[in-house]
Copies of this chain bind each other. A is one copy, B any other.
Amino acid sequence: MGGQPTIYDVARAAGVAPSTVSRAFSRPGRVNAATAERIRQVAEELGYRANPLARALSTHRTQMVALVVSDITNPFYFEIIRGAEHAASAAGYTMVLSDTQESDRLERLILERAMPTVEGFVLASSRLSDTAIRMVAKQKPMVVLNRPVGGVPSVVPDIPRGTRRAMEHLGELGHDTITYVGGPEASWADGMRWRSALEAAHELELRVRRIGPNLPTVAAGVEAARELAKAPTTAVLAYNDQLAMGLMRGLTTMGARVPRDVSVVGFDNILAADLVTPGLTTVGAPLRSMGGTAVQNLLAYIGGASHGSTTPVVLPTRLVVRDSTAQRSRKRTSPAWGTTKVSGSASRAARSSSAGSR
């Protein structure tokens, strides 16, 4: 009597059988319009709310989907989470969010634990093997984000196109050799970016080389700047925005100027890309709609749509040009900041020299 009113309370108050109340809510057509109305009325007065858990027990429809990300910390996911959450709640679904902390063991655990509770999964940047993913996908509807997995629906950004645009942009600015600052070792996205860069370079008659692998973090970017200093180029393309930001910071403290001495391009267009100075030119992925489409597709699939669409849904990317890229300055062939090991005095020298040449 203290708890929420149940279907029985409503039935009693409305003078009908419990099953009728149930019908009135789930299959309004199958019940006399008048009684349906009365039931609705009574339910309203009593403040009745159907218990989704009880419903789920027999129907297996929990109205919940899980979004599992590999690292909540990563700003890359912020917009994705947002897009996913909105899509889910717009469809009357509740979103469960879990973080696997880059651990495949934990990821498995989470999937197992959530399995009976949710109707489907969105796996963002999973650490699992393709076959492991396929196994899970056999048991519950699933869509994979940011990585194609054969036989499983997925949504990915159009990396080749975006990379191509970035390379064109750099080329047009007069940069003829570009350093790709690579991301995590086994990452599909990293491989894709590198290959796309190679291909674009070939077509555009640019040279591209690679350093890395690196963690996709600001700190790693700072570190990578040292690496870059050993054999500098006037333009770099980084695996992601955090790396690019770290790079900018590292370069700056070493006395190089962005974009004057080196143009920097990132990937993803996370929110902070517009906040840093100089603003980061980056290959924007449609983060929000990636999250949204993933959930929408998942729901469609849950709703019975044959997942024939097993070929990746690829979402358009676009180059967002800000201030971290500029015309190549041809005045100096070998920038002072990168001629040799960069010490404090060297960077100081570099700074004054570049100031002088202004």
Chain A residues with a Cβ under 8 A of chain B: 4, 49, 51-54, 56-57, 62, 64, 72-73, 75, 78, 81-82, 85-86, 89, 94-99, 110, 112-117, 218, 245, 271-272, 275-278
Contact = CB atoms under 8 A, between A and B. Distances in A.
Most chain B CB inside 10 Å of its own CB: which residue of A53, A75, A218, A276: A53
Given A52-B116, A116-B49, A116-B53, A89 B99 contact: yes
Given A78-B78, A115-B49, A116-B4, A85 B62 contact: no
Nearest to A113: B94
A49 B112 contact: yes
A331 B263 CA distance: 36
Contact of A218 (B49, B81, B114, B275): B275
B85 A97 contact: yes
Contacts of A218: 275
Contacts of A86: 99
B117 A99 contact: no
A347 to B, nearest CB: 17
A112 B95 CA distance: 15
A94 B94 contact: no
Given A116-B53, A275-B275, A89 B95 contact: no
A99 B72 contact: no
Most chain B CB inside 10 Å of its own CB: which residue of A4, A62, A95, A117: A117
Contact of A72 (B85, B114, B116, B278): B85
29 contacts: A4-B115, A49-B115, A51-B116, A52-B116, A53-B53, A53-B62, A53-B116, A54-B57, A64-B96, A72-B78, A72-B81, A75-B78, A81-B81, A82-B99, A86-B99, A89-B98, A89-B110, A94-B96, A94-B117, A95-B97, A96-B96, A96-B97, A218-B275, A271-B272, A272-B272, A275-B275, A276-B276, A276-B277, A277-B278
Contacts of A89: 98-99, 110
Given A82-B99, A95-B98, A277-B277, 13 more contacts: A52-B117, A53-B53, A53-B56, A53-B62, A53-B116, A64-B96, A72-B85, A75-B78, A81-B97, A94-B96, A94-B113, A272-B272, A277-B278
A96 to B, nearest CB: 6
A4 B86 CA distance: 31
A95 B94 contact: no
Contacts of A56: 53
Nearest to A241: B275
Nearest to A86: B99
A56 B82 CA distance: 29
Contacts of A114: 94
A113 B89 CA distance: 11
A353 to B, nearest CB: 18
B98 A53 contact: no
A275 B274 CA distance: 10
A298 B323 CA distance: 46
Nearest to A78: B78
Nearest to A278: B277
Contacts of A113: 94
A323 to B, nearest CB: 11
A185 to B, nearest CB: 24
A109 to B, nearest CB: 9
A224 to B, nearest CB: 16
